[in-house]
A and B are shown apart, each in its own frame.
Chain A
Amino acid sequence: MKRVIGLLLVTILCLAFPGTAMATPTSDGYLIRWGDPTSSDPPGSGHPDSMDAGNPNSAELKDIASLKCDLNGRDLICVIERGYPGYQEYVTTKIINISDASVTITGLHIINEWAQNIIAVALTDTSGNSISIPTTLSTGQELNVRVVTRVNQQAAQDGDYAFQVKVDAQQDEPYYPPYDPPYDPPYYPPYYPPSNPQSPPPPPAPENVEIIPERVSIPLTPAELPYTGGNIALFSGTAFTLGGIGLYLRRRK
């Protein structure tokens, strides 16, 4: 028994060292930081409130609520004042990889638990189109984004909410350039077909094309409907199996 415990301890210690070596964040523990944020509906702007897609009240064009945003150190703080269900605005900012290796962004969440059911947040590009997640940023790379915030339907009317938004990011393993051997590989020129010896000219730029940002609908739904079963047969089977083993051990001579 002592041998087994000793072996376990050695295994844990052996695994602990490579585990700590895997992550190499900056000295204060941050992998990314936010750029300067700009709200789409700052207080006193007179900007009519935007609402979630399909909201029947969006045609009213009233300025009731506002969205303030600021940086607190490297954290993004948002404050919604006089928020009401359906109120949806965004913060334009950047996500910058400040670590020494590439970082994969896997999502976005509010760290204040009380606000997680009340406020929804999502990342889009600066035109309001969805960003494919996960997305990877190399060291120092900046990603221009919008952080879309929406007050959910179960929130109170005329509510003030201050919350902190955090990017879910994980660092990939540091990149080590491959060993460059002395052998210089031969150069193969690119192949052009005979009929078109030169690369085709770029297509003419469209003129006077107005890009209309798409209305953002924040995806809130997980992949599956909630599991509402419960396998009683599995519980019973497990219980009877364990009970049988227990009975056998007790009667064993």
Chain B
Amino acid sequence: MVRVRTRRNRWKNTGMFFMVIAVIILLYPFLTDINAWISQDEYQDQLEQQSGWADATGGLIMPNSGGIAPWAQLEIPDLGIKLVVVEGTSQEALAAGPGWYTQTALPGQGNTAIAGHRTMYGGPFRNIHELTVGSAITLTYHNQVYCYKVEQVDSIGSDDWTMINSCGYNALTLTTCTPEGQDKRIAVRAKMIEE
């Protein structure tokens, strides 16, 4: 009798373990969202501090390149987005916010490309597919505001780097995943309208 009860308790404990794991997995996407929001707050403060330094030194100080560092501020009024862009597109960087492709140009020097999560990690580019031709995007980098107008929204292959490469004019390219699957990305190309 005692042995039967012990065995039943063991099954109950195993069941409880499974349920706890299930809750953690269920909550994980929301935890990544919360983590991204906290990171964005911290990076916002750091970016403002950096801007202060840039002001004091004539804008010559470059952002810290070691680890994940805030890089610029991205604003898309049509989507109600105001986010801090971090350096790099590693998974760690993108977990904190949209990331600048470090192999692309600085704002005003060619095609600047930024990647962001569409789901989880705060989903900064969740509604990017709603952008239409003419939508305004601003990027603030070292206290200089760069304004862009969307000129195309395309679905591209995950191995298609043509939108990230130089395009012959000053542009901003945003990329994120699509609901269609892992082998597709959405790319938004915006052209700089004033410097």
Tell me if B's interface is mostly helix, strand, loop or mixed.
mixed
The reply on A134 being an interface residue by CB < 8 A is no
A222-253 Cβ-contact flags toward B at 8 Å (1 or 0) = 01111111111001101111110111111111
A124 CB to closest chain B CB (Å) equals: 18
Q: List 16 A-B contacts (CB under 8 A).
A: A54-B166, A117-B65, A117-B102, A153-B105, A153-B106, A154-B63, A225-B158, A226-B175, A230-B32, A235-B28, A239-B26, A242-B22, A246-B18, A246-B20, A250-B11, A250-B19
Tell me if A's interface is mostly helix, strand, loop or mixed.
loop
Give the 4 A-B CB pairs with smallest separation, nearest first: A246-B18, A249-B15, A230-B120, A229-B177
Contact pick for A250, options B15, B99, B121, CB 8 Å: B15
Contact B99 A226 (CB under 8 A): yes
Give Cα A240–Cα B25 distance, bound, in whole angstroms.
9
- Interface 9-residue window, one of B48-56, B75-83, B84-92: B84-92
Contact A153 B102 (CB under 8 A): yes
The reply on B6 being an interface residue by CB < 8 A is no
Query: How many residues of A are counted as interface, with CB atoms below 8 angstroms from the partner's CB atoms?
Result: 40
Contact pick for B15, options A54, A220, A248, CB 8 Å: A248
A163 CB to closest chain B CB (Å) equals: 13
Q: A residues near B, CB below 8 A?
A: 54, 113-114, 117-118, 152-157, 220-221, 223-232, 235-236, 238-243, 245-253
Find residues 161-180 in chain B having any chain A CB closer than 8 Å to their own CB.
161, 164, 166, 175-178
Contact pick for B94, options A114, A228, A249, CB 8 Å: A228
Give Cα A152–Cα B29 distance, bound, in whole angstroms.
34
The reply on B60 being an interface residue by CB < 8 A is yes
Q: In the complex, which residues of chain B have a beta carbon less than 8 angstroms from the beta carbon of A221?
A: 103, 161, 164
Given the interface pairs A117-B66, A228-B94, the reply to whether A243 lies near B166 with Cβ below 8 Å is no
Q: In the complex, which residues of chain B have a beta carbon less than 8 angstroms from the beta carbon of A242?
A: 18-19, 21-22, 25
Give Cα A236–Cα B27 distance, bound, in whole angstroms.
9
Contact B14 A249 (CB under 8 A): yes
Contact A238 B25 (CB under 8 A): yes
Contact B19 A246 (CB under 8 A): yes
